[in-house]
Amino acid sequence: MDILHHKNFHQDARTFCLVAENGSFSTTGKILNINQSTVSRRIIELEEILQVILIKRNTRTVKLTESGEKFYKLYKSQEEHYKQLFSSFADQANSNVTINLSVPMGVADNVMSHKIPEFLKTHPGVRINIIYQNRKIDFIKESIDIAILRHIPKQQTIKIKLIYNESFNLYATKGYVENHGMPKNLSNEELNKHHVICAIDDDLQLFDMNAYDEQNNMHTIDYIPTLAVNNITNAIQIGLNGDFIFGGMDSLFEKPLKNGDIIKVLPQYTFSNLKLYLVRTKDDYNPVAEELYRFIEQCFV
């Protein structure tokens, strides 16, 4: 019989090596979560396969025979050799990986994109394709590995985690307020006196404008904008020129809010919450993609 293909050979050999290392059947049983008699049976089976005595037994001690010493050294050296081979194989397999990452333009881009080179430095050979878009995606059809989304996707076979949640507000520059004043309420009559940048998706659909008061009551706004964009970063840049009211989060404007260069508009309201979800498929396991998933997660901590 081919020893290596005996159905229990490797199981019995590993059990023997643990006995040799611990000098105890009972300790080995605890490590493997099996009883002492099973440990003894595996050693006897291994001796029968090899047709040599590996262990001298008495009531108190376990001692290897000369053949036992030789087999232990041989098996452990081969085990270490295979570990190195498999490690080398894994390194080679993971060094030729391309990961497709979908990211919405705006906050996620600002928080994460500048840190991607740090990940690539520690993963030579890995390629990342970043697709910036503000629309719903089909993971399978578009071959997306990881995505940051503003919504919870309908697919069932996904791994998902909320990584960002902050109130969305309206702001204006000091110069805008000096030139145009501030809206006093949410009425169309009042808002039509001003210029407010609104949000659209990649399909040119205008996002609903809803405001929430301090009691969390929702107020629907029917304002028709003269300017709508699909990128919060660009909306902010346009707004900072002083001709438009623009949306954003307090965390983006801590210093200018404090010194008065930017003023919160209608501060008694919030305009929904910006939530970002980190998503990847469960079925297509890739260790490098898992590491990138965790890396992006840490970017938002």
How many Å apart are CA 282 and CA 285, to the nearest integer?
7
Q: Would you list the domain boundaries of the chain?
A: 3-91, 98-161+278-299, 169-271
pLDDT score for 232 = 85
Cβ-in-10-Å burial (0-12, 13-18, 19+) of 45 comes to: middle
* DSSP-assigned letter for residue 26: H
Average pLDDT over residues 180-190: 92
DSSP 3-state of 196: strand
Sheet holding 146-149, edge to edge: 127-132, 98-103, 146-149, 273-281, 158-167
SS3 212: strand
Rounded Cα gap, residues 229 and 233, in angstroms: 10
Percentage above 70 pLDDT, the chain = 92
pLDDT tens column, 73-89 = 998 888 877 776 566 55
How far apart, in whole angstroms, are the C-alpha atoms of residue 301 and residue 93? 30
**Residue 244 predicted with pLDDT over 90:** yes
Domain 169-271 has CATH 3.40.640.10: no
Instruction: Go through the chain and tell me how many residues it has.
Output: 301
How do residues 97-120 score in pLDDT, each as one tens digit? Answer: 889 999 987 778 788 888 999 999
Dist. CA 262–CA 242, nearest whole Å: 10
pTM above 0.75, yes or no: no
pLDDT exceeds cutoff 80 at 297: yes
% of residues, the chain, pLDDT over 90:
50
Query: With contact defined as beta carbons under 8 Å apart, do 255 and 188 qualify?
Result: no
pLDDT of res. 230:
85
**Using CA of residue 142, residue 202, residue 176, residue 223, what is the dihedral sign?**
negative
pLDDT of residue 257: 95
Same fold, 98-161+278-299 and 169-271: yes
Q: Which residue has the tokens 């001690």?
A: 61
CATH C-level class of 98-161+278-299: alpha beta
Residue 240 DSSP class: T
The two three-digit tokens of residue 13, written as one number: 């050999």
**HSE value, Cβ hemisphere, 13 Å, CA-based, for 49:** 21
Q: Does domain 3-91 have CATH number 1.10.274.10?
A: no
Residue with tokens 């570990």: 83
Query: φ, ψ for residue 290 (rounded to 5)?
Result: -60, -40
* Local confidence band at 181 (pLDDT 50, 70, 90 cut-offs): very high
